[in-house]
Amino acid sequence: MIRIANGQGFWGDWLEAPVRLVEDGPIDYLVLDYLAEITMSILQKQKQENPNLGYARDFPPLIGRIAKMMRDRNVKVIANAGGVNPIACAREVRALAPNLKVAVVLGDDVYGRIDEFLAQGHEMRSMDTGEPLSTIRGSILSANAYIGAFPLARALDTNADVVIAGRSTDTALALAPMVHRFEWKPDQWDRLAAGTIAGHIVECGSQCTGGNCQVDWQSIPDFADIGYPIIEAEPDGTFAITKHPGTGGRVNCDTIKEQLLYELGDPRNYITPDCVADFTSIRLSRAGTDRVRVTGITGGPRTGMLKLSIAYSWGWKAIGTLVYTAPQALEKARKADEIVRERLRQLGLSFDEIYTEYFGVNACHGPAAPVCAEPPEVQVRIGVRGTDRKAVDRFTRELVPLVLSGPPTATGFGDGRPPVREVVAYWPALIPRELIETRVEVIE
Amino acid sequence: MRVPLSQIAHARSGDKGDTANVGIIALNERHFPILVREVTPDRVKAHFGELVKGKVERFELPNLGALNFLLHESLGGGGTLSLRIDAQGKTLGAGLLRMEVDVNEGEL
């Protein structure tokens, strides 16, 4: 049995979580997920400004902090912290933790290969809209192939203490140590599917150990010291999910089921670079306090394609708010929206979208929210999106004046004009697997 | 009798682009047939009204006593394009649990 813990569900997750996982009990592998779809484009911009950047900058100091414990307790780390510059990330880790061996996985970054692919006739059509990539060629900011567990496992084979990848899938981070230690082969689909589902359960950190859980949430103990998840993986593909004893949170079938459903599409076809997992095969059973056994998982062969994560510059957006109080809070908020839209119309400004919602009334649940006759206060939240930055900028001047010139009791205009933000959009596409060649490099 | 779904189910929701996924799970597995019978794609679409511009798909996971719904074109463009406060559909699970369903007394 090997213990694989997840200490970071996204870049920005609790900084203490990975440290406590190493401190509070035995683990063999610590996996850390830093990348969301849009993160790569932010990192690509940082790298263009400074060739030594372009990775998750929280990661090297974390390794510096836990390096001694990693050596003492024989804990290996696997992270997709490399972003678009895994080698620079590895060098910084080595600078802060000179006694650790670091391996990087390269080959996912295809930003420089887009024209080569297009020339070969690969259209890389958007999986959302069906449009060919050529329509946005000039706006592309980053392009990466999602890579699976096998390249990461080969990096672990070098006996590295730290494995740094770029755009690996979230599930591959946890599956990789199983492939490495149990010597699973690419055609052992059921086992790969089991490890993939284990990875899915822990990929959002404490969202499977009581965080964001709807069942009896008031009785979940000690959120402040919530324990992050640990997979106890067996060579036969069965596993248990648990957390360190004495930590906060909860692990039971309810918390695991909720996370299994998170960001799920067709449950019989959960496609990753490693396999196609079947979520309808999962069997859960309670195995003591804060421990759930997971068995029965089946899967199918991997597909011939890999998914590309492409980010491109779309345009601009801004979102402004005003708060109105009772009496007639909602009526006042609606009037404010009417005035802003009329002024935008008079200015002749056009946008891709103007969207208004009433926070405190129905912003989140829409028509599913119950009608409240007299809410004590309402925030009107008006957003615009467009490709003309000047128009978006002009919009940001139109809310604050209403404090003095619109319906009564307006407040909550915060710092004045809302900021104009660049919209970097996501373009998912497919590319034949054989075009993506990964390799492992050990950084001495 | 009519009961809110929150009495017999829990939920979690998330996003994939402009599509929200809403998973609902029977609190007690013997209530799963009620979910299958009552929480149809049409009813989910009607429940969220104008929030869901596209179609609603449903998948069954009887092994977990759960249904998974895909609400297409429901996140204002999704990701960074969205102007909505809940651009990732995080609260739609709780929103779906507001739905009232018909239950025979013997079923509870």
Q: Are A15 and A285 in contact (CB under 8 A)?
A: no
Query: Tokens for A335?
Result: 């009037």
Beta-carbon separation of B68 and A264 below 8 A: yes
Beta-carbon separation of B59 and A266 below 8 A: yes
Helix (H, G, I), strand (E, B) or coil at A281: helix
3-state secondary structure B14-78: EEECCEEEEEEEECCHHHHHHHHHHCCHHHHHHHHHHHCCCCEEEEEEHHHCEEEEEECCCCCCC
Residues 42-61 of B with CB under 8 A from A: 47-51, 59-61
Burial class (CB in 10 A: 0-12, 13-18, 19+), A422: middle
CB atoms within 10 A of CB B42: 9
Beta-carbon separation of B68 and A261 below 8 A: yes
Question: Looking at the domain assignment, is residue A132 inside a domain?
Answer: no
One-letter amino acid at A362 equals: N
Tally the domains of chain A.
Answer: 2
- Of A281, A304, A327, the one marking the end of a domain is A304
Q: What is the DSSP letter of A424?
A: E
Question: Looking at the domain assignment, is residue A139 inside a domain?
Answer: no
pTM of the model: 0.97
CATH code of the domain covering residue A367: 3.30.70.260
The pLDDT tens digits of the residues spanning B58-67 come to: 999 999 999 9
**A131 vs B: CB within 8 A:** no
Both A372 and A258 in a single domain? no
Burial class (CB in 10 A: 0-12, 13-18, 19+), A351: buried
Beta-carbon separation of B10 and A258 below 8 A: yes
One-letter amino acid at A376 equals: P
Domain boundaries, chain B: 2-77+84-103
Supply the pLDDT for residue A44: 86
Question: Looking at the domain assignment, is residue A271 inside a domain?
Answer: yes
Cα separation of A293 and B39, whole Å? 29
Grouped pLDDT means (10 residues each) for chain A, 444 residues = 97 96 98 88 88 96 98 97 97 97 97 97 96 97 96 98 97 98 98 98 98 97 98 98 98 98 98 98 97 98 97 95 97 98 97 97 95 94 98 97 95 87 94 97 92
| CB burial string A378-389: b at 16+ within 10 A, e below | bbbbbbbbbeee
Instruction: Tell me the Ramachandran region of residue A390: left when phi exceeds 0, alpha when psi lies from -120 to 50, beta otherwise.
Output: alpha
- Tell me the count of A-B CB pairs closer than 8 A: 142
Residues 33-52 of A with CB under 8 A from B: 37-38
Supply the pLDDT for residue A373: 86
Both A93 and A191 in a single domain? yes
**B91 vs A: CB within 8 A:** yes
Angle at A251 between CA A249 and CA A255, to 5 degrees: 95
Question: Looking at the domain assignment, is residue A115 inside a domain?
Answer: no
- Of A252, A273, A304, the one marking the end of a domain is A304
Both A378 and A278 in a single domain? no
CB atoms within 10 A of CB A45: 18
Both A269 and A402 in a single domain? no
Supply the pLDDT for residue A37: 75
Both A363 and A391 in a single domain? yes
Cα separation of A251 and B37, whole Å? 30
Both A244 and A175 in a single domain? yes
Which residue has tokens 């699976």?
Answer: A148
Domain around A354: 315-424
Question: Looking at the domain assignment, is residue A195 inside a domain?
Answer: yes
Q: How far B107 CA sits from the closest chain A CA (Å)?
A: 21
The pLDDT tens digits of the residues spanning B65-104 come to: 999 999 999 999 988 899 999 999 999 999 999 999 999 9
Cα separation of A269 and A266, whole Å? 5
Question: Looking at the domain assignment, is residue A90 inside a domain?
Answer: yes
Q: How many helices (H) and strands (E) does chain A have?
A: 12, 19
Both A95 and A193 in a single domain? yes
Cα separation of B80 and B48, whole Å? 22
First to last CA, chain B: 10
The fold for domain B2-77+84-103 equals: Alpha-Beta Plaits (3.30.70)
Q: Which of A225, A287, A203 lies closest to A21, judged by CA?
A: A225
Question: Looking at the domain assignment, is residue A429 inside a domain?
Answer: no
Element (H, E) at A175: helix A170-182
The alpha-helical segments, DSSP class H, found in A27-85 are 39-49, 59-73
Both A293 and A414 in a single domain? no
Beta-carbon separation of A215 and B10 below 8 A: yes
The pLDDT tens digits of the residues spanning B22-48 come to: 999 999 999 999 999 999 999 999 999
Question: Looking at the domain assignment, is residue A436 inside a domain?
Answer: no
Both A209 and A265 in a single domain? yes
User: Which residue from A minimizes the CA distance to B97?
Assistant: A368
Both A278 and A320 in a single domain? no
Both A184 and A265 in a single domain? yes
Mutate which: A131, A139, A261, vs B, most B CBs within 10 A: A261
User: Which residue from B minimizes the CA distance to A285?
Assistant: B64
Q: Are A409 and A324 in contact (CB under 8 A)?
A: yes
Query: Tokens for A395?
Result: 């919009």
Both A85 and A217 in a single domain? yes
